[in-house]
Amino acid sequence: MQHTLQEFISPQALPLVLNLLKHEHLTVKIKNERKTRHGDYRRLPNGMHQITVNSNLNEYRFLITLIHEVAHFEAYKTYGRFIKPHGIEWKKTFQHLMLPFLNPDIFPEHLLPLLAKHFKNPKASSDTDVKLALALKQYDQDTGKTYIFDVPFGAQFKLYNGKVFKMGRQRVKRYECTEVKTGRIYLFNPNAEVEIIPAEVR
């Protein structure tokens, strides 16, 4: 099934987005959900540039992800291929491209202060900005997903890669969890998506 951008971008944001995509050597593809990324940017061997974005994202995360990847393309064009993927050149480009979108016609008002704070120094993934990530998740369709802050202390859960962990204590911002197989300690962001393992099936 072929998706179109109109399915994912609001009418208020669409003209701005289409203007950013007016490059004959740039294509955008909408992909099925990928667990390890929301989107990506690649320069293809034939000289074309390709952006992909996951189809399962809500309209606000989709827009942020798309502009994130357009910023990679614009930074490549402006500064060349030897810059760091999420270095200062990309950050400045991302900030500049997002600015016209940060208004109440496009984003809900309660998201705007979180977005303004995030874009003072944008990170490689908005998921690492816990407050913003949790606020954006409110607009996801109800998929039955569980987040790590919902897991009771001592309960076991697993990740998409099958690894099983035991829930531990909360540190300042993260949760300390033990991998059951190895006993190693890992720290998780509160918005990590997990699957709780019922006690009867352990």
Residue-level pLDDT at 116: 96
Ordered by where they begin, the domains of the chain are 5-137 (3.30.2010), 146-201 (2.30.30.30)
Mean pLDDT, range 107-120, rounded to an integer: 96
Looking at 26-30, 144-148, 171-175, which range is the least confident one?
144-148
Query: Quick one: CA torsion of 139, 169, 200, 141, rounded to 10 degrees?
Result: 0
* pLDDT confidence bin for 1, thresholds 50/70/90: very low
Mean pLDDT, range 122-141, rounded to an integer: 87
Handedness of CA 115, 95, 13, 57 (dihedral sign): negative
**CA neighbor of 59 nearest in space, from 12, 8, 104, 129:** 8
Q: What is the DSSP letter of 152?
A: P
Residue-level pLDDT at 4: 86
Q: What is the DSSP letter of 175?
A: E
* pLDDT confidence bin for 173, thresholds 50/70/90: confident
Residue-level pLDDT at 137: 86
Instruction: State the Cα–Cα distance between residues 26 and 15, nearest whole angstrom.
Output: 17
Instruction: State the Cα–Cα distance between residues 138 and 198, nearest whole angstrom.
Output: 25
pLDDT of 191 over the 60 cut: yes
For 23-69, the pLDDT digits (tens) are 989 999 999 887 778 999 999 999 999 999 999 999 999 999 999 99
